[in-house]
Amino acid sequence: MKVLVAIKRVVDPNVKVRVKADGSGVETANIKMAMNPFCEIAVEQAVRMKEAGTVTEIVVVSIGAPQCQETLRTALAMGADRAILVETGVEVQPLAVAKVLQAIVAKEAPGLVILGKQAVDDDCNQAGQMLAALLGWPQAAFASKITLGGESADVTREIDGGLEHLTVKLPAVMTADLRLNEPRYVTLPNIMKAKKKPLENVKPEALGVDIAPRLATLKVEEPPKRGAGVKLADVAELVNKLKNEAKVI
């Protein structure tokens, strides 16, 4: 079975994000970039499935600037077989991502699509669900355990009330949660091997997809700095502040 894994290039989670002076977005110039952590978990899951013998080929796809090739090479070094870059300089929003992936699915015909449950830059948590709706496929979001079995898959997913167990027919769309696995470290020999693996470059127009943004960002600003704490004399004063100042009770 072929697995398609979508990955995104984001600001490294360990880097402090700075807002641009004009408030139009966050600063990305000369900033360290990395694979979105949830996408990394999705790639690791696909590699483990291949190592277990249930998957024959792993195709990773990313949408964005030419620099996304670096992120795709990281996925190839982790164990993916080949990569596809849908190159564009336009801001790609979740619906556009889902439409591009729909076109890639039609071309590649995978038996399973895995995405990270969300990207740490926009936190939308929409692309996987939108893709499943466009394809008309079953979906299992926030997966913390995936077991493939022939024509179906057993999935444990995390919900507000605890854990939910699903059985979905394949092909399906799944999104990876934090506790699905712990991604491996990429070794130098695998990094060198990844340079020889195929990486296809296509344009959205070639796929027949319109990726024009539907939403406009009006302004981005940092949250207000947290005020200093105060000591209270008793519970009555605490209740008074919660009621009259914080207005939470």
Residue 229 has what pLDDT? Answer: 86
The series of mean pLDDT values per 10 residues for the chain, 249 residues long, is 96 90 87 95 97 96 96 97 96 95 97 96 94 97 93 93 94 96 95 96 95 91 86 93 89
Pick the CATH number of 2-224 from 3.10.129.10, 3.40.50.1100, 3.40.50.620, 1.10.3720.10: 3.40.50.620
Residue 149 has what pLDDT? Answer: 87
How many angstroms separate the CA atoms of 44 and 143, rounded? 13
Residue 45 has what pLDDT? Answer: 97
Amino acid at 128: G
Total-model pTM: 0.88
Which conformational region is residue 208 in: left (phi greater than 0), alpha (psi within -120 to 50 degrees), or beta? left
Domain boundaries, the chain: 2-224
Residue 137 has what pLDDT? Answer: 97
Residue 24 has what pLDDT? Answer: 86
Query: Measuring CA to CA, which residue among 199, 238, 217 is closest to residue 86?
Result: 199
Residue 161 has what pLDDT? Answer: 86
Residue 111 has what pLDDT? Answer: 96
Task: Return the structure tokens found at 173.
Answer: 């769309």
Residue 227 has what pLDDT? Answer: 82
